[in-house]
């Protein structure tokens, strides 16, 4: 298969969950060849979020739904694993199709939410509209399974055990609850559970190191989310031992070290993340916070100014710089930054604090002038 001419310049892919079908290392190489960037995890610069199918084995439905909603609310484009590979030209596109999302919902009676989640985890021939007639057949089958008590997650986890999903259009699917397995889908009246290899298995294309790294990173993220900061830091360190160029692993480790009270080591890893990726705005911002906590205001100020220069829409460093200037007695600079913050955020609790800050400085200046 031949790759496309290239991605839109500046596109930054972030992955949530390892890819089931293709080593991330090879995908990153192809993205870079097409003038894009691929990273584990999501940062402010991420424009497209790829949900790897292995996420289905690592997280429950509710957790995945929360993450999908959060990334969608942040304005990022969500893309399935197969959609990502097709975008890169690494996987053949399915046959032409013509059904819209709304038409598929109306004709199948599958909910829009379930349709979107099943599409995101490649339970259809197409990962988005326009859908095909085979997708409509699958949607009707899935709607029947949902009516029988199955969740979208149980369907998504089961269908990839049977090879290409289009092959299921000619098969009868049943919810496994009547067989004591509500988390599984059965074929042919429940006589056999869907089983087998994950879709699009490339066999020797991967390596044990790839698998280990992806598993370690997922384990580290889970430990971090669960509050085990020391354990997560150790896992991220193992990730860095395998791939020393991973700025996000260094950044995440720094966050865990900081939360665990290891400020010096955290500062080292923030600096490491910045060295690996000088445009990593969150690393500049968090290092500034660490410097501020240690009373190193001059260093904190420089790091905040760098974060603001890198991302002029990032409100948090603007607010923190205003507070830093206010504490230092630089009222005009504090007011300028609070006013700038209010251009970026108008209705949060922090915005109300910034508005009060502006009012306070104006009052002080009026008294001085009087």
Angle between helices 61-73 and 112-120 in degrees, nearest 10: 90
Q: What pLDDT, on the 0 to 100 scale, is given for residue 195?
A: 41
CA atoms of 245 and 263, how far apart (whole Å): 22
For the beta sheet containing 77-80, the strands, ordered from the edge strand earlier in sequence to the opposite edge, are 37-40, 12-16, 48-51, 77-80
The half-sphere exposure of 113 on its side-chain side, counting CA atoms within 13 A, is: 11
**SS3 sequence, the chain?**
CCCCCCCCCCCEEEEECCCCCCCHHHHHHHHHHCCCEEEECCCCCCCEEEECCCHHHHCCHHHHHHHHHHHHHCCCEEEEHHHHHHHHCCCCCCCCCCECHHHHHHHHCCCHHHHHHHHHCCCCCCCCCCECHHHHHHHHHHHHHHHCCCCHHHHHHHHCCCCCHHHHHHCCEEEHHHHCCCCCEEEHHHCEECCCCCCCCCHHHCCHHHHHHHHHHHHHHHHHHCCCHHHHHHHHHHHHHHCCCCHHHHHHHHHHHHHCCCHHHHHHHHHHHHHHCCCCHHHHHHHHHHHHHCCCHHHHHHHHHHHHHHCCCCHHHHHHHHHHHHHCCCHHHHHHHHHHHHHHCCCCHHHHHHHHHHHHHHHHHHHHHC
Nearest alpha carbon to residue 149 among 108, 179, 183: 183
Domains along the chain? 12-88 (3.40.50.10190), 101-193 (no CATH), 209-277 (1.25.40.10), 301-370 (1.25.40.10)
CA atoms of 41 and 49, how far apart (whole Å): 9
Q: What pLDDT, on the 0 to 100 scale, is given for residue 200?
A: 31
The pLDDT tens digits along the chain (370 residues) read: 333 445 667 789 999 888 887 778 788 888 888 888 888 889 999 999 999 888 888 888 998 999 999 999 999 999 999 999 888 888 787 777 788 999 999 999 999 999 999 999 998 989 988 998 889 988 998 898 888 888 899 888 888 766 666 555 545 555 554 444 555 554 554 444 444 333 333 333 444 455 578 788 888 888 898 899 999 999 999 999 988 989 999 999 999 999 999 999 999 999 999 999 999 999 999 999 999 999 999 999 999 999 999 999 999 999 999 999 999 999 999 999 999 999 999 889 999 999 999 999 989 888 877 5
Nearest alpha carbon to residue 289 among 254, 339, 336, 313: 254
Q: Report if pTM > 0.85.
A: no
């Amino acid at each position: 298969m031949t790759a496309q001419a290239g991605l839109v310049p500046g596109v930054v892919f972030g992955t949530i969950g390892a890819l089931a079908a293709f080593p991330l290392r090879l995908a990153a190489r192809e993205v870079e060849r097409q003038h894009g960037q691929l990273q584990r995890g999501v940062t402010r610069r991420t424009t497209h979020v790829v949900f790897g199918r292995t996420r289905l084995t690592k997280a429950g439905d509710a957790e995945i739904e929360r993450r999908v909603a959060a990334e969608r609310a942040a304005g990022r484009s969500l893309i399935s694993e197969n959609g990502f590979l097709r975008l890169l030209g690494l996987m053949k596109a399915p046959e032409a199709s013509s059904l819209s999302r709304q038409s598929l919902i109306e004709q199948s009676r599958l909910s829009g939410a379930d349709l979107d989640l099943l599409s995101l985890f490649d339970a259809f021939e197409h990962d988005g509209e326009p859908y095909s007639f085979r997708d409509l057949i699958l949607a009707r089958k899935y709607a029947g399974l949902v009516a029988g008590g199955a969740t979208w997650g149980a369907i998504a986890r089961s269908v990839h055990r049977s090879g290409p999903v289009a092959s299921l259009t000619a098969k009868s699917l049943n919810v496994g609850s009547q067989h004591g397995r509500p988390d599984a889908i059965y074929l042919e009246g429940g006589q056999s559970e869907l089983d087998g290899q994950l879709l699009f298995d490339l066999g020797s294309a991967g390596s044990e190191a790839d698998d280990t790294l992806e598993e370690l990173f997922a384990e580290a993220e889970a430990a971090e989310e669960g509050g085990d900061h020391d354990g997560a830091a150790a896992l991220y360190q193992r990730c860095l031992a395998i791939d020393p160029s991973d700025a996000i692993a260094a950044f995440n480790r720094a966050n865990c070290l900081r939360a665990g009270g290891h400020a010096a080591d955290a500062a080292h890893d923030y600096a490491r993340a910045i060295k690996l990726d000088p445009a990593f705005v969150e690393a500049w911002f968090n290092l500034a916070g660490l410097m501020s906590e240690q009373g190193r205001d001059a260093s904190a100020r420089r790091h905040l100014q760098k974060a603001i220069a890198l991302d002029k829409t990032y409100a948090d460093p603007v607010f923190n710089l205003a507070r830093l200037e206010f504490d230092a007695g630089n009222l005009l600079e504090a007011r300028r930054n609070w006013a700038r913050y209010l251009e970026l955020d108008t209705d949060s609790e922090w915005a109300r604090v910034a508005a009060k800050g502006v009012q306070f400085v104006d009052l002080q200046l009026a008294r001085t002038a009087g």
